[in-house]
Amino acid sequence: MKLKFAAKTLGLQPPILVAWGVAEMVYKLFGAALVLTSGTDGTHKEGSLHYKGMAIDLRTRDLTVDQRMGIFHHLRAILEPLGYDVVAEPDHFHVEYDPKSGENFTSRVA
């Protein structure tokens, strides 16, 4: 697991740390190295969950097309039922913990 220079992890909340760990395992499953490119740092749209420590960005530029597709589908299959959103952006995967009304992290993993 690597961090992009200047990526900040201070303030990341427990649910997003879980997602980061899951992502590390999924990237390894596909023979790829995980690079976290943004945590609580950077400039994001207004209201972004990055500012609350509830989102991370994961590098994809070093992945093959097959790795990118496989990792994306595995992340969605594992994380979305637990209240996460996984979005494929042009150069990264955006992962955020955004449970729907009435859901919370503890009740989903218990």
Please write the tens of the pLDDT for every residue from 50-59: 778 899 999 9
CA neighbours within 13 Å on the CB side: how many for 19? 32
Closest alpha carbon to 4 in 35, 34, 41: 35
Domains of the chain: 2-109 (3.30.1380)
Nearest-5° Cα angle at 74, 70 to 62: 45
Q: 88: closest CA among 108, 63, 51? A: 63
Q: Which one-letter amino acid corresponds to residue 35? A: V
Element of type H or E holding 108: helix 105-109
How does pLDDT run across 65-110, given as a tens digit for each residue? 999 999 999 999 999 999 999 999 999 999 999 887 555 555 555 5
